[in-house]
Structure 1
């Protein structure tokens, strides 16, 4: 997408005023404002909400680019952003230096204190966090001896080491209330290291009652095949390898876990959709993108690609697990497969990002990612600005204990497996009174039924409402970029 730099009317007016003072200082104004002028020109051209750009004063154009760019955004635009090129290069091509865990901060789930806690969502294999014994579902209640808060939670991402206090909830046998165990655990994370967060976090085949169910935890839609970066191409090749294994295993149902997937690149979504859709849909439109009324020449569509037919699972239905951070290309997957197959959603309401963003490289040291188009499916539908509400609502933050992703006892996976088998998910929070689960089968040995009450197999729900705050996932920029030639 070609970009031109030109003088705006504001610049010409100011330049005229400067030269009329006797000394032509136009070059000074141009030099000091050219970066902001470049940004303004791009936004007035391709920004989806260009008609809602606020009117700026001439002095605004002297602000640093990271302060100027937000001034141009429509009041409802939560997504467009500017990134320095070094930061963008690091995010896209280099392994981040990290402790290897993601967390979300919330109020105390037990209600016994007024403090905040950080719950571990994910731990990377081989990471400093894993080496220190941190597990998914752990509660961090203190960082370097201080109570957890949104202001110090950044210390959980990277650094030379950090000391943590871990606490565990339990049900008080006397009162029945959920409280913290009196014993805490102290751990020290070693220094952060460079690590790769492979988007294919878990892939496995689960056999249940004669059915083979594919399960994939997919955490980011990496760049598409049109990009020249070899690392990103390798991710696309890995996707094909993963689905080749699913196909060879004879998978006939599929659970796609997008609970921690904020999105990514649309060509990656196109490829994944082509692997999951019914084979009869290959070659049909997957999604189309509509730009603002000035740039209708940029409108285009992506089709479900027949070149992946040898990897396609030819599914008639799909089960998707959604979470607090399911957004953008993940929501595009839900919306754009619905014209061709039954898409079943379980978890919590998705973010509601029905727009796409374009990466625009500047001739300076920054990159902008403005919202440039609305995403539609083959039926012309794009009505998910408020997110997709799941058929069965289950908020994993409201339960303990947790298991590793991929463990069949894990809350959302266990409930989804029940749904796949035709049962109502036992932990669904929005089941109506007219909907009753099927009668369970008799145990194989009815004379000696298993009456154990392992708390881990029957998750306990907190009685108080939780308000998520700071999250390492929300700090990540994963744009749904449209890759143009």
Structure 2
């Protein structure tokens, strides 16, 4: 998504190069082309030394060094590698409205879509306009959202006017087919859920650079049945801090743990559904907060590098700071298909079947058990981030994707077999007598023992089934794109 917005360094490709052409009349002409191949050569040099699967790399004689970095990496990396990447190094972040969204087709207009807001950065132009997760955008200025103009309308930079909608049950007019053969009885109106416009349009200010705090939301909730204090933490990236304040976000994690501790929190619901990984140091810190007290100082995970770098092999330990440790004995993790890397390592390292059981709610994670490391080329302002080590859990076992139990594998938007956005609400929304965010409500039900239901009855399906397919999901340029030096998982 970011490619066309980033500052891209174009490396000219030579369409026809004859090696003999580098040497004319005994003159070595290679220096004329060296700069054009320098970046790809540097990438291959870095990988020859640090890449976990360096044995699978081609030789210098078997590669084309005149292609742009992403294409070059895709051609040389191992077929089992889904995680190494290259990126341009940006001096400053990009301006953004500060929200993520998914496009859902408008059932009343063939070429139009409604945009479901899935994430809002606090303090962003979107937040300033009052937008929240679960809101719908139906029009931008006076235009319906089409795929052709969606990027211009929703990813632009100027101030815009938004027509918002809400998910609501409405009466659908029956087609006039005469109802021949019917019994003549009035069966009442047909009701169906749709997105319908609400209120007056709202103004969203122009895009600007915003800071997205990885500690996105935390709440202290009392469970309805067991009446225990539950700490809810929506944590969207394992990022320690900013360049100016390297421990800024880690200090906020420490502060949240203190608030949970002072409130007498007995269980934590850790929302990782939007978390795509980050720094190993942050995993260690959060693990120290969440593990049981008797595991402080014990092995949390193991890192193993290639045979050129065995001196870097390491054992990651839980910290020993009892002041931040909550001494929990249970944890509920909310996961999704984009949960990967660091959050998977955390869950796998905390889990001990007979000592520290962990339930996951949502959908299966991606399954990443390798870490990358960032290497920066200051001349070209590009970085290569190759896989450099395998990560093992606290039992020194490898691991794959984390899959919730069958009855806990649930969707945010499918209820009783139908698409239903009535519980697609801002993170942390919980009201035991009213509306609650769906996955949080289920997680609390697991803690209370009320979910899954005990009666084994199949939920009744609504009379009018409605299915709305998400056509496209888009993340804000600033959302959860945190830079991290050193190891990233």
TM-score if structure 2 supplies the norm length?
0.78
User: Any conservation in 2 of the 1:104–1:468 contact (CA below 8 Å)?
Assistant: yes
SS of the equivalent of 1:464 reads: coil
2:43 corresponds to: 39
User: Any conservation in 1 of the 2:269–2:331 contact (CA below 8 Å)?
Assistant: yes
User: Any conservation in 1 of the 2:232–2:268 contact (CA below 8 Å)?
Assistant: yes
User: Any conservation in 2 of the 1:15–1:29 contact (CA below 8 Å)?
Assistant: no
Separation of aligned partners in 2, 1:100 and 1:143: 16
Of 290, 311, 318, the residue aligned with 1:297 is 311
- Rate the CA distance shift 1:128–1:29 in 2: closer, same or farther, 3 A: closer
Separation of aligned partners in 1, 2:464 and 2:390: 38
Which structure has more helix as a fraction of its residues? 1
Q: Which ranges in structure 1 are unaligned for 5 or more consecutive residues?
A: 1-13, 438-458
1:382 corresponds to: 398
Of 203, 217, 228, the residue aligned with 1:211 is 228
| Alpha-carbon distance, 1:117 to partner | 3.3
If asked which structure has higher relative contact order (CA below 8 Å, sep 6+), I would say 2
2:426 corresponds to: 404
| Alpha-carbon distance, 1:262 to partner | 1.4
Moved more, 461-470 or 23-32: 461-470
1:189 corresponds to: 204
2:473 corresponds to: 470
Separation of aligned partners in 2, 1:371 and 1:235: 25
TM-score if structure 1 supplies the norm length?
0.78
SS of the equivalent of 1:193 reads: coil
Separation of aligned partners in 1, 2:344 and 2:393: 11
User: Any conservation in 2 of the 1:258–1:326 contact (CA below 8 Å)?
Assistant: yes
1:442 corresponds to: none
1:69 corresponds to: 73
1:269 corresponds to: 283
- Rate the CA distance shift 1:135–1:238 in 2: closer, same or farther, 3 A: closer
Separation of aligned partners in 2, 1:219 and 1:198: 8
SS of the equivalent of 2:65 reads: helix
1:423 corresponds to: 450
Q: Deviations over 1:21-54 (max 9, x none)?
A: 5102232233331221111111222222334446
Q: State the number of aligned residues.
A: 433
Q: Deviations over 1:133-182 (max 9, x none)?
A: 32211222444514343873475345122343433333344223333437
Whether 1:313 and 2:361 are equivalent positions in the alignment is no
Separation of aligned partners in 1, 2:349 and 2:96: 34
Separation of aligned partners in 2, 1:162 and 1:352: 40
| Alpha-carbon distance, 1:57 to partner | 6.7
Of 133, 138, 154, the residue aligned with 1:136 is 133
2:5 corresponds to: none
Q: Deviations over 1:433-462 (max 9, x none)?
A: 85999xxxxxxxxxxxxxxxxxxxxx9997
Q: Which ranges in structure 2 are unaligned for 5 or more consecutive residues?
A: 1-17, 172-188, 415-419, 431-435
SS of the equivalent of 1:30 reads: helix
Whether 1:222 and 2:227 are equivalent positions in the alignment is no
- Rate the CA distance shift 1:127–1:26 in 2: closer, same or farther, 3 A: closer
